Every structure is written in structure tokens, then in C-alpha cells.
A and B are shown apart, each in its own frame.
Chain A
Amino acid sequence: MASILINAIKRLHVSPQIRLCSLNSAAVTTTTANKTINILKKEWEFPPLYTKPREVWIENLDSVEEKKLGLIELHPMVYAAPPRIDIIHSNVIWQRKYRWVSWAHTKTRAEVRGGGKKPWPQKGLGRARHGSIRSPLFRGGGVAHGPRSGKSHFFMLPFHLRLHGLTTTLSAKLAQDDLHIVKDLELPTDESQYLVDLIENRNWGPSVLIIDDTDYAPRNITAATDNLLHVNIMPVYGLNVYSMLKHDTLVLTQAAAEKIEEKLLYHLHSDNRERMKKFKIDQV
């Protein structure tokens, strides 16, 4: 009876998830019935105190079919933050507004050409009194209280709201299975169709945002995404809340995921009083 149960468990390929107390970043190899999995255990400078690290599969891009190359541990403060929709919303509003300048313009009665002479005498004609043909009452006259060009909607969202905007959006993406981690961005071909098939095969959304930690992505993937307008590549410092929401799926390279984690953890644990000060235009 016991042997039957053991065989059944073996057939399910359930690998025992044992958390090892390692002091340094170490690859722990777990052997299952027929293959080995590398679990990348990490030792952070700021280890999570109350929550467990999130384990995410590392996938490949060099074949259309998905292969799981290993597991990576991600810090829960960055990738498992509470999903604060209000913070995400305020971040998106900030991103749209801080660059928004309205150039709508109308001329006032002083700026419309002409209109210096009194159109007709004040009295004696039975007509209404007027002093200028460019008054707002006249056709072709100036506009009263119209839009004046160069209206800015700029404001700076507080630093920690922007920081938590990134963590909560990354966490929401991971929780919704829309965040994938790949080993690197090396493709076997530079054809767009390969990438289209890959996205279709893996049920990634129609639009994909790929984040790499270098400024120059490999040639094949840049050539393949060149014609696909909804597949975009960004460096780590280009990552932002709006793009993460605009694209259905977020694909991070392993190096990018670690770099984002490192940057966000650094800011979450450092003295940010300089950054929290009121924004002054000529001092940035």
C-alpha cells in the first residue's frame, strides 16, 4: 500500500521545496524523478523579515516552446508588495500630467490687430455704444478669459509614492501571472514571426514589454521587434508604471529583475530626506 502511494507521488513530479539557510547566494540543485532544477537562493543586504521570498521560473527565449531553466528568488518587498490600486492610479495621473503643457491660445482684445478707433459716435445714432471693434462682443474681436498658451499641469508626485508605485505595479503584475523572467534575450533568428509565435505559444498578452539591464539589446531581438509595434524593449531605467500597465505582459531578463530589485531595495532602506523635499525647478 505504501509503495503504491510513493509511486503515485513520484509520478506527480512533486519536488520537495526545502528552504535552506544559506549565507551566500547559492544555486541549490533539487533532483526530481527525471530532471534537475536550479533554485537560485539569494542573500540580500536587506533580507525579508516577515514574508517569504517569491520563487519565479526562469524561462528561455531560444525556442518557441517554453523551457524552465531554473527558479529565482525575488524579494517580497519589491515583487510582493500590497496591491495598492490608489498608488498605481496616482502614479499614472502624475506621469500623464507632469509632461502635459496645453498650447491652446486665444488673442485678447489688446492683441487682435486694429480696433483703435471708436467705431461710431457715442450718442445720436440710435445704436449701441461701443469703443472698439475688437471688443469680445464683436465678431472677429478678442476672446475674454480664453486659454492662454503655455498652461502647465506640472506637479511632482512625492518620492515614496513613486517608489511604491513601482513596487506595487511589479507585484500586481507578478500576482496576475503577467511578469515573466527570462535568462537572456538571445533569439535564434531575427524574424518577427518567431517572436509572434513565441508570444502566442506562451499565452503572453498581445503586447509585451521587455526590460533588459543594458542599453543595447542583442541584434536579433531588436530586429525582430522592429516591425512589432506592440512589443517594446526598454532599459531598466526606462521602466515605469504607465508602460507596465499599457503592455499586457512584462518580461524581465534575470539581470534586469535583480537590478530593479537592488535599486528599489536601496531606496526603500535608505535616508531619502533630500528626495522628499519640495521640488524646486532650478535645483534639480
Chain B
Amino acid sequence: MSWLTSRILSVVWKPTVNVVRTRYHADKKRLVRRYGYQEKIWRGGLLPRSEGKALPIPEYRPDNPWSVRKALFGQNDYIDILGPGNLHPVKTLYNIPSWIRGVSGHEYHILLRKKKMWAKTGTPRLRPTKWKEIQKRLSFLYRKLNRKTKTGPSPI
């Protein structure tokens, strides 16, 4: 009889079966290191800077990439090719002082040229300290280059 009821029960009601996967590593307990130790260092991120004035972070002001100076950068650089032919692009560098326009060289060479061109102007009389410093620097560089350093290999 009991066999029959169990048979009928098995037909009428079937238990829901959950497949339980083995979750050994997920369920195992973590080893707590240094149990009972109170961490004294603040681990919550940056400390709020409450007292005193805030550090000066400059306001972000993006510069205009299309300002007239930047938009027209390089204009007339090929004027000797595209222009009438009697003008060199170096002659169009109006915003650079004439004594350094188109000059390449070390500090000594540029300073020599500057001194040579400024000698005819009012600079020696109007800016005597500046003029003296130029001459001082020139003599220092002259001694350094000619007496204390070796010259490079001869170009020829």
C-alpha cells in the first residue's frame, strides 16, 4: 500500500530540485590578518583642507588658438618665392629687434653684434650700467672661450 501511495505521490508531486554547485573557494572564510588592530592612518582619501586659505589654483583660462597672432602665424615666410622677388623673409620679422633678426650664434657672437650695433645709439650714455655689464660679460666670455676651453675640430 505504502508502495502505491508513494508511487501516486511521485506522479502527482515532484519536488523541485536545486542543483547546488560546490562553492568552496567563494564560501571559505578569509583569514583576518592582525585581528583586533585598529588602523590609525586615515584611509578615506584626501584630507579636507579646512583651516586657512585654500591653496591658490589658478583659474583655467584656455588661450584663444585663433587670436590674430596665432591665426596669421607664418604669413610672408615664403615671400622670396611667392612675392616680387626683392624681399627676403628675414626682412619681414618686424617684431624682433634688428640686432638679433636673422642672427644665429652663441651668446658671445650675438653679444658682440649687439654691442657693435648699440655703440652708435644712445645706449652707452643712457644706460651706462647695462652697457658696462655687456662689456664685462664679453670680456668674461672672451677669456673663457679663448683661454679656458678647447676649440672644436677644425672645419677644414
With contacts A166-B78, A242-B77 taken as known, whether A150 is within 8 angstroms of B72 at the C-beta atoms is no
What is the CA–CA distance of A284 and B74 in the complex, to the nearest angstrom? 19
A192 within 8 A of B: no
B4 within 8 A of A: no
CB contact list, A50-98 vs B, under 8 A: 95, 98
Q: Are A238 and B76 in contact (CB under 8 A)?
A: yes
B59 within 8 A of A: no
Binary CB contact string for chain B from 68 to 85 against chain A (1 if under 8 A, 0 otherwise): 100111111111111110
- The interface residues of chain A lying within 8 Å CB-to-CB of B78 are 162, 166, 237, 239-241
Q: How far is the CB of B100 from chain A (nearest CB, A)?
A: 5
Closest to B72 in A: A232
Q: Tell me the count of chain B residues lying within 8 A, CB to CB, of chain A.
A: 37
Q: Are A238 and B75 in contact (CB under 8 A)?
A: yes
A118 within 8 A of B: no
A13 within 8 A of B: no
Q: Are A166 and B103 in contact (CB under 8 A)?
A: no
- The interface residues of chain A lying within 8 Å CB-to-CB of B140 are 110
Closest to A264 in B: B81
Give the interface segment out of B10-18, B21-29, B34-42, B90-98. B90-98
- The interface residues of chain A lying within 8 Å CB-to-CB of B91 are 284
B104 within 8 A of A: yes
Q: Are B133 and A275 in contact (CB under 8 A)?
A: no
Q: Are A237 and B110 in contact (CB under 8 A)?
A: no
Q: Is the interface of A mostly helix, strand, loop or mixed?
A: mixed
Give the interface segment out of A19-27, A40-48, A151-159, A177-185. A151-159
Q: Are B81 and A162 in contact (CB under 8 A)?
A: yes
B51 within 8 A of A: no
Q: Are A236 and B96 in contact (CB under 8 A)?
A: no
Q: Are A154 and B81 in contact (CB under 8 A)?
A: no
Contact of B73 among A111, A163, A166, A243 (CB under 8 A): A243
B2 within 8 A of A: no
Q: Are A234 and B66 in contact (CB under 8 A)?
A: no
Q: How far is the CB of A159 from chain B (nearest CB, A)?
A: 8
Closest to A154 in B: B104
Q: Are A281 and B72 in contact (CB under 8 A)?
A: no
Binary CB contact string for chain B from 104 to 143 against chain A (1 if under 8 A, 0 otherwise): 1101001100100000000000000000010011001000
Q: Is the interface of B mostly helix, strand, loop or mixed?
A: loop
Closest to B95 in A: A99
With contacts A99-B93, A284-B90 taken as known, whether A240 is within 8 angstroms of B76 at the C-beta atoms is yes
- The interface residues of chain A lying within 8 Å CB-to-CB of B68 are 229
B67 within 8 A of A: yes
Q: Are B136 and A152 in contact (CB under 8 A)?
A: no
- The interface residues of chain B lying within 8 Å CB-to-CB of A240 are 74-78
With contacts A229-B64, A230-B66, A281-B103 taken as known, whether A95 is within 8 angstroms of B82 at the C-beta atoms is no
Q: How far is the CB of B149 from chain A (nearest CB, A)?
A: 14
Q: How far is the CB of B90 from chain A (nearest CB, A)?
A: 6
Q: How far is the CB of A257 from chain B (nearest CB, A)?
A: 12
Q: How far is the CB of B132 from chain A (nearest CB, A)?
A: 10
CB contact list, A210-260 vs B, under 8 A: 229-230, 232, 234, 236-243, 246, 260
Q: Are B72 and A148 in contact (CB under 8 A)?
A: no
What is the CA–CA distance of A232 and B81 in the complex, to the nearest angstrom? 21
A129 within 8 A of B: no
A130 within 8 A of B: no
What is the CA–CA distance of A77 and B96 in the complex, to the nearest angstrom? 35
- The interface residues of chain A lying within 8 Å CB-to-CB of B90 are 98, 156, 281, 284
Q: Are B100 and A150 in contact (CB under 8 A)?
A: yes
Q: Are A260 and B110 in contact (CB under 8 A)?
A: no
What is the CA–CA distance of A87 and B40 in the complex, to the nearest angstrom? 62
Interfacial residues, chain B to chain A (CB-CB below 8 A): 64, 66-68, 71-84, 88-91, 93, 96, 100, 102-105, 107, 110-111, 114, 133, 136-137, 140
Other than the given A111-B136, A237-B83, 6 more pairs (CB < 8 A) read A152-B105, A237-B76, A238-B79, A240-B77, A284-B91, A284-B102
Q: Could you list 8 examples of A-B contacts with CB < 8 Å?
A: A101-B96, A110-B140, A236-B82, A237-B83, A237-B84, A239-B82, A240-B74, A264-B81
